Structure 1
Amino acid sequence: MPIYEYICRDCGARFESMRPMREADQPISCKVCLSPNTYRTVSVFFAASEGRAITNQTGCASCGGGSCASCGHH
């Protein structure tokens, strides 16, 4: 089961939840303030393969790598 990252629009907390893919975009309560006003964000990862770094730190397609209210990328 995949782990998804979410951000609370009310308190700004970032949290993770292990959920089935079919539930990835369904409402989920914030683990800090319990608000249902949350959204799924793009996960950032780092991996190394044969000495080369592989990263995903560009944000979502909407932000084009700049600050974005939709995915929380800075």
Structure 2
Amino acid sequence: MPIYEYFCKDCGNHFEELRRFSQKDDEVQCPRCKSKNTKRAVSIFGTSGGSSSSGSTSQSGCKFG
């Protein structure tokens, strides 16, 4: 199961949930304030490539909108 990132619109908490793909847009409760006023975040990620010049790099973060 994939891990999805969420954002609570009430308290500003950023959190992750392990959910089935079919449940990714279902209602999620914030673990901090118990609000259901949450939104799934768009994750931005990078992978390490096969480049032999400078080693591997990776980025992670999320965008909320």
TM-score by length of structure 2 reads 0.76
CA distance in 1, matches of 2:50, 2:27: 39
- Deviation per CA, 1:33-56: give whole Å up to 9, x if none: 110000101112221101375767
Cα RMSD, aligned residues only? 2.3
Q: Which structure has the bigger radius of gyration?
A: 2
**More contact order relative to length (CA 8 Å, sep ≥ 6):** 2
Structure 1 unaligned residues grouped into runs of 5+: 60-70
TM-score by length of structure 1 reads 0.68
Question: Does residue 11 in structure 1 map to residue 4 in structure 2?
Answer: no
Structure 2 unaligned residues grouped into runs of 5+: none
Divergent runs of 4+, >2 A: 51-57
The alignment covers a number of residue pairs equal to 61
Which residue pairs with 1:29 in the alignment?
29
- Identity over the aligned pairs, expressed in percent? 38
